[in-house]
Amino acid sequence: MQESVRQFQRPVAKVGLIFALVIVAYFLDVIDFSIVQVALPTIRSTFQASLADIQWVVSAYALTIAGFLLLMGRAGDVYGQKKIFVGGLVIFTIASFSGGLAPSLLVLVITRAIQGIGAAMTTVTAFAIFIALFPEGPERNRAFGVLIAVLSGGFAAGSVAGGVLTTFLGWRAVMFVNVPIGIAAAIACQRVLPNFANRPENYHLDVAGALTVTVGTSLVVYGLTNAATVGLTSLETIIPLIVSIFVLSAFLVVESRSKSPLLPLGFLRRGSVLTANTLALVFTSIIGGVSVIITVYLQTVLGYSPLYAGLGILPAALIFLVVGGWGAAKVVDRFGVRRVLIASSIMVSAGVALLIPISAESSYLVVVPGLIVWALGASIGFPAVNIAAIAGTKHGEEGLASGIVNTSFRIGFPLGLAVLLTVAGAFDPPTTSAATGLVTGFQYALAAGALLGLLGLVIASRIRDVEKHDWKNRLM
C-alpha cells in the first residue's frame, strides 16, 4: 500500500499547469511533423533537390526520434525526468533555429536529425511525467482523452499553419515558429516542474544496451523508410533490416546479462505490457498505411488539391478530437480496456474493409463511411492501448514504460506504410491506365489493412484487463 502511494503521489499542487507543459511537448512534435510535410515541395524547389533526397528532411527526424526514445526514457528514470525534458526542449529549439538558417539541404537534414533527438527527449519524458502525475483509473483515462484531443487538433493546425507560413513567409518560417514556443516552454518547465527523484538504488545507465538498442531501432526505421519508397525486396531495405536483427539480438543478450539493464526483460512479461505494445504496433501500422493511401487517392486519382484533400480527412480528425478526446475515457471506464480494444479492432478492420470499393470513377462519398467507422474505432482504441501498455508501472519505471510504448508507435507508422505500399505496388497491373492500376493496388493494400485489423482483434482478446477494483486497490 505504501509503495502505491509513493508511486502515484502528486509531486506538486500545480497538476494542471504541469499537464499543460506535457501537452506543449507533444504539441511541438506533432505540429512540427505536419507543418514540415506541407513545406516539403517549397524546400525541394529552394535546394533543387530530387524527390528521394528531400524525403530525408522527414526521414532524418523519424530515424533519431525512434532510435533514442527508449534510451532517453530510461535516462529520465536514472537522471531525473526534468533534466532530460528541459534539455530536450533546448536541443529542439536550437536545432529548429539552425534549420531555419540552413544554407544547404545537407545542413537542414542534419538539424532535423538533431531535432529528432530533442523531440525524443521531450516526448518520452513528457509521457513519463504524465504517468507519474495521474494514477491508474478514471482520472488518467480522462487525461488521456484531453491529450489525444489536443494532439489531433495540433496535427490539423500544423497542416494549416504550414500552408500559411510557407505561402506568405517562406519555408524557413516553419522552422522558426518552434523557437519562441520552445524558449517559453523551457523557461516555464525550469520554474514549474519538480525534480522527479526516480533513480533506482545502485542503478547506472546501461551503455552497451543503450548503444545496441539505439542503433538497432534506427536501422529498423531506416529499412522500413526505404521499403516505403523502393520496396521490401530491395537491397536498401533488406540489408539494414537484417543488420538490425543481429544488433537487436545482441541487445537482448546484453540485457539478459546486465546487472542494471536498460530494459529489464521481466518488465515485458508484467501484465499486458508486451501484448499491449504489440497491439500498438499493429494499430499504428494500419493508421500509417491507410492514411497515406487515402490522401494519395484523393489527390492523385480524384484530383483534389492538397487543401481539399485535407478537408476530406477532416471528418476523421473531428472524430478523434471529440470521441477520442472526451468520449473514449467514459467508454473505457464503463466497459474496461479489453472490451474497448476488441471493439476498436473490429471497427478499424470494418472501416478499412469499407474503403476497398474505391475506384477511379467513384467519388468522395465512397470514402466517407469507411473513414468514419475507421476513425471511430481508432479514436477509442489509442487511449485504451496506452492505458494497457503502462498499467502497473512502478515508481522509477515511468520513463521505461514511456520509451517502450512510444517506440512501438514510432515503428508502427513506417512499418504499415512499407507493408501496404509494397502490397499496392505488387498488385498494380502494368497493362491498365495509371489511375486504374493505382486504385487496384490500393484495393489490395486496403484488404491487407483489414486483415491487420483482424490480427489486432486476436491480440486484443489476449489483453489482460485492468479492472476498476484494481485501480482502487492501487490508490488505497
CA atoms in the 13 A half-sphere facing the CB of 82: 14
Give the number of other Cβ atoms within 10 Å of residue 48's Cβ: 8
Q: Residue 430: what pLDDT?
A: 63
CB 111 within 8 A of CB 60: no
Across 58-67, 137-146, 147-156, 357-366, least confident range: 147-156
With vertex at residue 161, the alpha carbon angle to CA 155 and CA 167, rounded to the nearest 5 degrees, is 140
CB 282 within 8 A of CB 377: no
CATH topology of domain 1-202: Growth Hormone; Chain: A; (1.20.1250)
User: CA–CA separation, 248 vs 114, rounded Å?
Assistant: 23
Residues in the chain: 476
Q: What is the CA radius of gyration of the chain?
A: 22
Question: 396-439, pLDDT tens digit by residue?
Answer: 677 778 788 888 888 887 788 778 878 887 776 665 566 777 78
The three state secondary structure string of 141-206 is: HHHHHHHHHHHHHHHHHHHHHHHHHHHHHCCHHHHHCHHHHHHHHHHHHHHHCCCCCCCCCCCCCC
Q: Residue 4: what pLDDT?
A: 35
CB 474 within 8 A of CB 6: no
CB 274 within 8 A of CB 239: no
Which residues, including other chains, have CB under 8 Å from residue 422's CB and lie 6 or more apart? Answer: 227, 231, 232, 233
Say whether pLDDT at 224 is over 60: yes
> Average pLDDT, stretch 31-38?
72
With vertex at residue 286, the alpha carbon angle to CA 285 and CA 290, rounded to the nearest 5 degrees, is 120
Q: Give this prediction's pTM.
A: 0.77
User: CA–CA separation, 73 vs 81, rounded Å?
Assistant: 8
Q: Residue 437: what pLDDT?
A: 76
Tell me the pLDDT of the chain averaged across its residues: 79
In Å, how far from its chain's centre is CA 101? 28
> Average pLDDT, stretch 209-236?
82
Homologous superfamily, domain 266-476: MFS general substrate transporter like domains (1.20.1250.20)
> Average pLDDT, stretch 368-377?
90
Q: Where are the alpha helices (DSSP H) in 48-137?
A: 51-54, 56-79, 81-100, 105-133
> Average pLDDT, stretch 210-227?
84
Say whether pLDDT at 89 is over 50: yes
With vertex at residue 331, the alpha carbon angle to CA 327 and CA 337, rounded to the nearest 5 degrees, is 130
How sure is the predictor about 242, in pLDDT bands with cuts at 50, 70 and 90? very high
